[in-house]
Amino acid sequence: MDWMQFLSGTPARDYVYQETPYEEQVRRAAGLLNRADAVLIGAGAGLSTAAGLVYGGRRFTENFGEFIERYGPAAMRDMYAAGFYPFPTEEERWGYWSRHAYVNRIEPQALPLYLKVFEMVCGREHFVLTTNVDHQFWKAGFEDEDIFATQGDYGLIQCAKACHGKTYDATGLFVRMNQAVKDCRIPSGMVPKCPVCKGPMAMNLRCDGYFVEDGHWHQAAGRYGDFLNRAVGRRLVLLELGVGFNTPAIIRFPFEKMMGENREWSLIRLNLDEAAVPESLGYRAVGINMDLAVCVGDIRTAMREGTGEGSGHEE
């Protein structure tokens, strides 16, 4: 989506790309983080891409060669497109999804960029709101009670028709499925069935009207609300990492709205090419267009050196 076109229909007409030099932006971001009472991380797909979980290119062709051959390169362009393929049988659907879950959720260890993000906030009150479903925040050391993953998890499955509100850990199942895949399909005996209605199961991902928000999801949502309430009147930094315009209603737009309502809060928006910020936020916002792997490292270094100049609280 062309985001300028998207924005022309919204009230957010005051977006600007800040012209401050990169090094100064980094110093300001580091200063804000060093003096924060608490940090709210909002993380989108751009963070995982920058961390190395790329959905196309060699990572796709090397892991999904047999699938590309069977279903054709037009339908199998990358892992996004492949996830929407209408697999004709359950055996084939799970053949694909067990591989997808394996390479994105099960096999990767904590990635260096996520570890750096953890270092940035550890020792300080923090919370993570993320649309990412690859479980990297947990792997990087964040506590479960500090994470709200709103869109699901590649390691969980649910009833495809959401006949009951539970999710099931499928990481062990996916390892076994992935080993058993032959001709792009799993053995029929491995196809999971809903324990309640006996119908098909599905990935616990928000992709249709049947996404299950289980008890854990609701607890996390409640903890997110509690965190925001505690932050009122304090110096909270909203650290937005790689959030584009695919699902802006979950992180990007709410962050801007909350900035408007809380004068003590500041926003650090890191994005490869969509780091424009509302001009009306003035010094309270830092928007940096840069590869996240680079600028998270630079901000981390600047934080350690304590070179934050403390801009953002002149008033």
Name the binding residues for Zn(2+): 159, 163, 194, 197
Strand order across the beta sheet in which 168-169 lies: 168-169, 152-159, 201-205
Nearest distance, CB of residue 126 and Zn ion, angstroms: 37
Q: Is 197 in the site for Zn ion (CB under 5 A)?
A: yes
- Per-residue binding string, Zn ion, 165-194, x by CB under 5 A, is -----------------------------x
Q: Which residue has the tokens 């030099």?
A: 21
- Per-residue binding string, Zn ion, 141-170, x by CB under 5 A, is ------------------x---x-------
- Per-residue binding string, Zn ion, 282-301, x by CB under 5 A, is --------------------
Q: Which residue has the tokens 């981390």?
A: 300
Nearest distance, CB of residue 210 and Zn ion, angstroms: 10
CA-based end-to-end distance of the chain = 38
Nearest distance, CB of residue 197 and Zn ion, angstroms: 3
Nearest distance, CB of residue 163 and Zn ion, angstroms: 3
Give the Cα separation of 18 and 149 in Å (integer): 30
**CB-nearer residue toward Zn ion: 59 or 161:** 161
Give the Cα separation of 30 and 6 in Å (integer): 31
Candidate residues 22, 107, 193, 196; the one interacting with Zn ion per rule CB under 5 A: 196
* Tokens found for residue 225: 């609300």
Give the Cα separation of 311 and 29 in Å (integer): 9
Give the Cα separation of 93 and 197 in Å (integer): 20
Residues that bind Zn ion (CB under 5 A): 159, 163, 194, 196-197, 199
